Amino acid sequence: MYTKFAEIPVPTGAQFLAPEFNSIQLSFSVRDHERNVKKSLVKQIVLSNSGPATVLPAQEVNYVAARYSLSGRNRVVLREAKEGSGTKYFVELWRGDSLRFTLDVTEKHGAFYADEFIGSLSFSHDEMSMVYTAEARADKMDPYAKFRFKADLGEGLSGKRRPTAFIVHWDKDDVPSVSRIETPEQLYLGQYIFSRDPENRLFAAAYERQSDWRLLGVKGCFNRPRGIWQVDLAKEAAYPEVWKCTLTKLTDSHLSCRSPRIVDDKLVWLSEAAGGPHISTSTVQSLPIGPEASSGEATTLLDVVEQPKEDGFPGLYAPANFPASPTLCLDPRSNYPTHLAVHSTIGSRTGVVLVSLKGGYSVADLGDSYSWNVLATDGESRIVCSRSTPAIPYEIVVGEVAEDTRITWTVVDRPTLSQDVAAALASIKTQIIKVPDREPTETIVIQSSSNGEHPPTVLVPHGGPHGTTTTAFNAATTALVLEGFTLSHPNYTGSPGFGDAAIRGLVGQCGRRDVDDCIGSLDHIVKLGIAQDGPGKLFVMGGSHGGFLAAHLIGQFPDRFTAASMRNPVISGGDTSTTDIPDWYYSEFGLSYPVESSPKGTMLSSDGNHIQDSASSAAPTPSAPVLPPLMTSEHFKKLQLDSPIAYVDHVKAPVLLLIGLDDRRVSPAQGIEFYHALKARASDKSSVDMLVFEGESHPLEGVEAARVCYEAARDWFKAKAQL
């Protein structure tokens, strides 16, 4: 059943076309197990005011990225094509069904950036230019460029070392030109957007290199030294091949900022605390940038929430970005935007949050068991979302938002399911159970009515540790339930969605408080009669920090679990030699790992030199370099004692390890060394097994790798449970 579930398309984005067209373009990702590839699909939905929406057939697309302009008239496409042993890169502009031009940009740069952390694809407001991000070409004047070390962006972005912005401009006859923006090498800029005024200004988010020239891994890490920068292009008579610029930092150094958006005469963005936990509570900041702006100070529209409010709102735990089009205009007396729409983790679910541009928020009704993703707004009063549960792979819903922020939802699309898949999903039931005396811990329990009484239970702690398992559909989870298991997903202290104090409550307590919360959640569902102790009854599995917890649990409670499965687990906290996030090993275990970021107001030229602002009496003084810590014997001892390796002598449960050999986040050596340590101590050598995956990194998310990991863990557990 896993393969059938995994081949159901997953919604990845949407865009309302020009409002008068009354239609939405949706994008999906789908796995093709026969060809062992992931495919991209697009589907158009035509809305109706008097009847059901018309859903046009999905079409496969082979471009890297594409986007319509705000008017819906123009569409830019970034495309790559294999040619011999190399790759060629093209930029296309479409107007309706007419291809206005194709630009071969292969000699200009390398691969496009289409990720959510650095990638850019945005039109200017006059729709005569667009900006995108791509990998810069190596310096042809350097004879050693091929061999010279330069830090890349880490896990999930390996080999990406120099993100660079390119502006494509076209005249009234659609004759294009391409310009490269030259920026300082110590800044890694992305997420570019055009300002409305002046026309030679852009805004971007930039990661900063540290004093040891390390770039801390960016994927999934919202605590990085990262700020919002104003990028002023030098005034030129025409669009030059290389555009010099002046960069000004707009945000404070103690904040990590991302996802800039222009909203009328304001710039808005998301921010979290820099350093410390890799995810914490997001705030929403607003800065006036229009010609009448008199203040250079940002306003906080939505602040950190330490403990959930009386209405249950725990603060904002936003994704990597706002939607590309996040605004709503709910005041019938005005044409100005009033709210931003974004989804957020709320306990063990994700929900729709509307952030008022005057400050404040409202949370949409979550409905029964759903977790929601905001995909886009129409800039007026409509919002399109995807939602799912462990029993519902996805629904596309369009909401009409009233002036008082109440939302009326209409389902406009569902996947086509075979009869056997629909019948299997109908048996799934989900409940969220709070764990007494371990606040804020709660666990998501997923069962099937077809499994009979007291099926074996698999405890599945999430990774992060500042991740959260939600009620969103997951193919492997639902498939394993249908194989005869109950699954329990504990959201322990440190999980986002329960207030900022809960996140920081785990710092310095990894290996203790998270372990105790997990075992406490298991004790509770045993007490409720959902799970049972005994041989063949309790199992544990997890990846990354979830694997760390699984390894801890079988070491600290060796007689409790029948078997375990771990994906790229953290086993030895003292092993930081190859990780892209060495700060994680320090900060999460209560040790100091300072990060440095330029002060607000810093001005840099294209070559990285500091500039004195003529309008200011004094420029910010760069602080003395901060030295990252070295691994001392004292630190190593503490980290090892807090790690699962400290309990390896106590492990009794059979263990299956699943290791990605290209993992940049957790060294594959950690899992491999654990395998050897367990083998050496096992009386039955067959009770320890390991599968390794060449070319796979931390998530083990390749089509074949994900399937094999699921099937191997399923078979491992079923053999031990004698199912």
Query: Residue 228 carries which DSSP code?
Result: E
Q: Are 327 and 339 in contact (CB under 8 A)?
A: yes
Report pLDDT for 292. 60
Tokens representing 68? 């319509």
The pLDDT of residue 199 is 83
pLDDT at 176: 96
Q: Give the strands of the sheet with 74-83, arranged side by side.
A: 65-68, 74-83, 86-95, 98-104
Is residue 385 classed as helix, strand or coil in its secondary structure?
strand
Please give the pLDDT value at position 19. Answer: 63
Structure token pair of residue 707: 């399937």
Nearest to residue 345, comparing CAs of 256, 466, 438?
Answer: 466
Which single residue is written with the structure tokens 């599945």? 460
Q: What is the 3-state secondary structure (H, E, C) of 546-570?
A: HHHHHHHHHHHCCCCCCEEEEECCC
Residue 534: strand, helix, or coil: coil
> Residue 123 is which amino acid?
F
Which amino acid is residue 239, in one-letter code?
A: Y
State how far the Cα of 607 lies from the Cα of 605, in Å rounded to an integer.
5
Residue 398: both structure tokens together = 């369009």
Residue ranges of E strands in 97-139: 98-104, 121-123, 129-135
191 vs 163: CA distance, rounded Å: 10
User: Stretch 703-719: mean pLDDT, rounded?
Assistant: 98
- Identify the band that residue 198 occupies on the pLDDT scale cut at 50, 70 and 90: confident
Confidence of residue 405 (pLDDT cuts 50, 70, 90): very high
3: exposed, middle or buried (Cβ count in 10 Å: 0-12, 13-18, 19+): middle
Torsion of CA 365, 368, 374, 379, to 10 degrees: -40
Query: Span 32-48, mean pLDDT?
Result: 96
Question: 3-state DSSP helix/strand/coil percent for the chain, to nearest 5?
Answer: 15, 35, 50
- Say if residues 528 and 445 touch (Cβ distance below 8 Å): no
Q: Is 590 left (phi over 0), alpha (psi -120 to 50) or beta?
A: left
237 has a pLDDT exceeding 80: no
Residue 452: per-residue pLDDT: 87
CB burial class (10 A; 0-12, 13-18, 19+) of residue 468?
Answer: buried
Q: Label the pairing between strands 176-181 and 163-170.
A: antiparallel
Determine the pLDDT at residue 722: 79
Q: At residue 124, does pLDDT exceed 80?
A: yes
> In whole angstroms, what is the distance from residue 29 CA to residue 475 CA?
14
What's the start-to-end Cα distance of the chain, in Å?
A: 16
| Confidence class for position 295, pLDDT limits 50, 70, 90 | low
Over residues 171-195, the pLDDT tens digits come to: 999 999 999 999 999 999 999 999 9
Cα–Cα distance between 370 and 422 in angstroms, integer? 18
Q: What phi, psi does 516 have (nearest 5°)?
A: -65, -40
Judged against a pLDDT cut of 80, whether residue 723 lies above it is answered with: no
Q: What is the pLDDT of residue 321?
A: 96
- Please state at what angle helix 513-527 crosses helix 545-556, rounded to 10 degrees: 70
What is the signed CA dihedral for 346, 347, 350, 356, rounded to 10 degrees? 0
pTM comes to 0.95
Amino acid of residue 632: T
Question: Is the link from the previous residue into 198 a cis peptide, with omega within 30 of 0?
Answer: yes
What was the pLDDT predicted at 614? 56
Mean pLDDT within 624-640 = 92
Mean pLDDT of 657-676: 98
Residue 449 DSSP code? G
Find the mean pLDDT for residues 439-456: 95
Question: What rounded mean pLDDT belongs to the chain?
Answer: 95
pLDDT at 296: 77
Q: Is 527 helix (H, G, I), strand (E, B) or coil?
A: helix
Locate tokens 């500091």: which residue? Answer: 610
Question: Residue 559: which residues within 8 A CB-CB, separation 6 or more?
Answer: 652
H or E element at residue 525:
helix 513-527
Contacts of 232 (CB under 8 A, 6+ apart): 200, 201, 245, 246, 247, 248
Q: What average pLDDT does this structure show over 526-535?
A: 96
CA Rg value for the chain: 26
CA 334 to chain centre: 35
> Which band of pLDDT confidence, cut at 50, 70 and 90, is reported for residue 620?
low
Instruction: Write down the pLDDT at residue 622.
Output: 62
Instruction: Flag whether pLDDT at 613 surpasses 70.
Output: no
Cis peptide before 465 (omega within 30 of 0): yes
Give percent above pLDDT 70 in the chain: 97
% of the chain exceeding 90 in pLDDT: 90
Estimate to the nearest angstrom the gap between the alpha carbon of 344 and the chain centroid.
12
Contact status, residue 317 vs residue 497, Cβ threshold 8 Å: yes
CA–CA distance, 52 with 417 (Å, rounded to integer)? 20
Candidates 529, 447, 452; CA nearest to 486 is: 447
- Flag whether pLDDT at 20 surpasses 70: no
- For 48-79, how does the pLDDT look when each residue is reduced to its tens digit (9 = 90+)? 888 899 999 999 999 999 999 999 999 999 99
Tens of pLDDT, residues 314-373 = 999 999 999 999 999 999 888 899 999 999 999 999 999 999 999 999 999 988 899 999
Write the pLDDT tens digit of every residue in 209-227: 999 999 999 999 999 999 9
- Per-residue model confidence as pLDDT tens digits over 455-494: 999 999 999 999 999 999 999 999 999 999 999 999 999 9
Q: 106 burial class (0-12, 13-18, 19+ CB within 10 angstroms)?
A: middle
List C-alpha distances in Å: 629 to 299, 379, 524, 590, 592: 35, 47, 41, 13, 8
Handedness of CA 324, 326, 328, 334 (dihedral sign): negative
